[in-house]
Amino acid sequence: MPNSVPTTTSSATPVDDPGAPRFLASDNTSGICPEAMEYLVQANQVDDLAYGNDRWTAKASDRFRELFETDCEVFFVFNGTAANSLALASTCQSYHSVICHQLAHIETDECGGPEFFSNGSKLLTVAGDNGRVTPERIATTVTRRGDIHYPRPRAVSLTQATEVGTVYALDELHAIHDVADQHGLRIHMDGARFANACAGLDASPADLTWRAGVDVLCFSGTKNGLGFGEAVIFFDRELAEDFGYRCKQAGQLASKMRFLSAPWLGLLESGAWLSNAQHANAMARRLAAGVEALDGVRLMFPVQANSVFLELAPATQQALRDSHWTFYTFIGEGGARFVCSWNTTPALIDSLIEDLRQALRS
């Protein structure tokens, strides 16, 4: 790709401005990474056809097929709620249900999007350690009711990486696939942090999806360095039937589609989709390592992707907030969540560790 276009870097949170907010609340506070911005600017050089008939969209789709080593169907939509909800609706009718973890984003943070897009499908939530659904829980849930007075389970939704920053290992995915197959359940993967899972497991996208029985993946670009944009990737092509119509009707067909697909192409051609995730994961591990030795801090979950959940005393939390750190405490099972991104700097992490150390001392 041309590098004649002007560099348009997004800096991470500056650490030298003591009054500035310090963003570790989520990986959606960061901006657009250079590789994505370059392609966006490039796609803006000349006019092009609308609705995906441009020079970028087919190319981006083909790159996904290469990345996943299979002839999957690829659709670009605007955000994660839409991606998940539309993908789930392709597996379900309104009188069906989807089994998911009780901390799953589709249950806790999409304002009933899955129920809306499917016109009423029910989410059947299950508990599970470290944010993971287990084959046993799936089996129990799917067999609990078999009468028409309760929505029939038709899909399992897995979040990879999970809402608490852990990942499903390959053998866990295969065990889930077995039980899903046994009960005629499709597998949907909420890949809001799919790249982070690939990086964390050092596993290929193909191994983590269709080779493990995943039927449809929602691969987030927004959290991986785009401004907007998720790819819905169908490994079971039957589920994709008329999915273009579904997206259009649901307000998810971008007319200037190239501004969704070209940035994706930037991530894929440059390899930034993976290096961004590797960097974010490394920053999370740096944070985990830095606080391990601190008294008064407990790591709540294994750090396997780009999130770190810390159990902190209220006073410690307040001290951090006073130093302009942004973080959430209501996500997952409580605790303070810090999420690293493609542009989180080691300096920022170190500064957090230092501030934590200070807070704990006093």
Site for a copy of itself in 49-78 (CB under 8 A): 49-51, 77-78
Q: Determine, following the binding rule CB under 8 A, whether residue 259 of this chain makes contact with a copy of itself.
A: yes
Nearest approach, Cβ of residue 22 and a copy of itself (Å): 9
Site mask for a copy of itself (CB under 8 A), range 207-246, x = bound: ---------------x----xx-------------x-xxx
Q: How far is CA 320 from the centre of its chain?
A: 26
Residue 263 is encoded by which pair of tokens? Answer: 């940035």
Inter-CA distances, 203 with 16, 53, 153, Å: 37, 33, 29
Q: Determine, following the binding rule CB under 8 A, whether residue 329 of this chain makes contact with a copy of itself.
A: no
Q: Determine, following the binding rule CB under 8 A, whether residue 153 of this chain makes contact with a copy of itself.
A: no
Nearest approach, Cβ of residue 260 and a copy of itself (Å): 8
Q: Determine, following the binding rule CB under 8 A, whether residue 351 of this chain makes contact with a copy of itself.
A: no
Q: Determine, following the binding rule CB under 8 A, whether residue 47 of this chain makes contact with a copy of itself.
A: yes
The owner of tokens 């230092």 is 354
Q: In the 8-state DSSP scheme, what is residue 6?
A: P
> Whose Cβ is closer to a copy of itself: residue 52's or residue 205's?
52
User: Are the beta carbons of 40 and 262 closer than 8 angstroms?
Assistant: yes
Q: Determine, following the binding rule CB under 8 A, whether residue 361 of this chain makes contact with a copy of itself.
A: no
CB contact set of 362 (below 8 Å; sequence gap of 6+): 319
Q: Determine, following the binding rule CB under 8 A, whether residue 251 of this chain makes contact with a copy of itself.
A: yes
CB contact set of 180 (below 8 Å; sequence gap of 6+): 138, 156, 186, 187, 213
> Whose Cβ is closer to a copy of itself: residue 212's or residue 306's?
306
> Which of the stretches 79-87, 231-239, 266-274, 282-290 binds a copy of itself when contact is defined by CB under 8 A?
79-87
Alpha-carbon distance of 152 to 91, in angstroms, equals 12
Q: Determine, following the binding rule CB under 8 A, whether residue 29 of this chain makes contact with a copy of itself.
A: yes
Q: Determine, following the binding rule CB under 8 A, whether residue 15 of this chain makes contact with a copy of itself.
A: no
Q: Quick one: which of 80, 205, 213, 332 contacts a copy of itself (CB under 8 A)?
A: 80
Q: Determine, following the binding rule CB under 8 A, whether residue 183 of this chain makes contact with a copy of itself.
A: no
Q: According to DSSP H, which parts of the chain are helical?
A: 34-43, 57-68, 80-89, 105-108, 113-117, 135-144, 170-182, 194-201, 205-208, 243-249, 258-270, 272-292, 314-322, 346-361
Alpha-carbon distance of 95 to 40, in angstroms, equals 41
Nearest approach, Cβ of residue 214 and a copy of itself (Å): 21
